[in-house]
Amino acid sequence: MWRKTGWVFVGIYTAVILYLDILAVVNNNGFDWNTIISVIVMLLPAGVIAIELAGKKASLLLILPALFVTAVFFLGNMAFNGLAIETIAKAVLFGITILLLVYFAYKRIFKK
């Protein structure tokens, strides 16, 4: 059951990130290399979680950068936005992502 819930979370995370990137393209009236790099970097945590949910072992060299990227998004979201519902929703999304990545990193470091 938790695995299915994790897959639903990965889908929601991917949809929200793609929505935010499409919104940025529409607001900036342009599509360039920065947009492509932004999508790849922002989807890195979802990719790591998907690898773990698929039963494969993600390396710590992949988990730690994803954790760093998500922490930067979380802290940036809280520092530069007011307490609008969108800010709270993104904070919850990034907070759950941080918890999952910390769990997977803990599982990799302290194998049973």
Q: What is the DSSP string of 64-111?
A: HHHHHHHHHHHHHHHHHS-S-HHHHHHHHHHHHHHHHHHHHHHHHHS-
pTM: 0.81
Structure tokens at 61: 């060299």
Residue 88's pLDDT is 80
What digits encode the pLDDT tens for the residues 26-72?
887 777 787 788 888 888 899 898 988 888 888 888 888 998 998 88
Helix (H) or strand (E) holding 45: helix 33-53
